[in-house]
Homo-oligomer: A and B are copies of this chain.
Amino acid sequence: MARKTKEEAELTRKKLIKSALLLFSEQGVAHTTITDIAKKAEVTKGAFYWHFKNRLEVFDAIIDEYSTPIEDQADVMLKEGQDPVESIFNTVEFFFSKVESSPELIALYDVSYFKCEYTDEFASRLKFEQEQLLKTKDDFAKVLAKVEASVWPNKSDDLIEQISMSMVDMILGTFMRWIGSRSGSLTSQVRDSMAIVLKGAGIKFN
């Protein structure tokens, strides 16, 4: 009812974002009302509309708040002096172990995969994620290009492209299934999956 300090206002904003994420994960994006979000955050609709224009904006805010784009890790992968295969493993494992230990990140991907309809204003979000997949593929390709021929006898540009894409597909499939079932260790499942692909490529490692 009264005016809050800047810190308190930022706190209600964060609370609204977190409430929205949890509700989206429970009830789906389209099935969650603004009043639901406000109630969970212990404020009213007025507060929501003060901080956000509509549902789409809080959706974007959720992503800004919680998601850690994997492409930030591309530089790490490409760092000199590292074994390429090992750096891929490390990067991917770093990402997924972070997801596995964060309920908010799990909720975020749960929403992304199973609780959101990518139409209208949300369609751009889907397009973005598709582009991210191809970007990740390119990053993998760059790193795989650095693998020495001694450990990869049948290495070729075409194979690099194909393996990079398959790597992304494999990780995506494993991740999505895990988010849906949440059984077993995500990190180790992803690690095993990656190992199979790299072996299938003919790369010798470990």
Contacts and interface: CB of A to CB of B under 8 A. Distances in A.
A168 interface: yes
A115 B119 CA distance: 7
A28 B196 contact: no
Interface stretch (A43-51, A67-75, A176-184): A176-184
Which of A129, A192, A198 counts the most B-chain CB atoms under 10 A from its CB?
A: A192
Nearest to A115: B117
A27 interface: yes
B168 A177 contact: yes
Given A114-B117, A170-B169, A163 B196 contact: yes
Which of A133, A163, A193 counts the most B-chain CB atoms under 10 A from its CB?
A: A193
A200 interface: yes
A120 interface: yes
Interface string A186-199: 00010011011111
Contacts of A202: 199
A77 to B, nearest CB: 20
A29 B30 CA distance: 10
Interface in A152-179: 162-163, 165-166, 168-174, 176-177
A28 B115 CA distance: 12
Contact of A117 (B116, B196, B197, B198): B116
Contact of A177 (B130, B192, B199): B130
Interface string A100-131: 00000000000000111111100000100110
A85 to B, nearest CB: 14
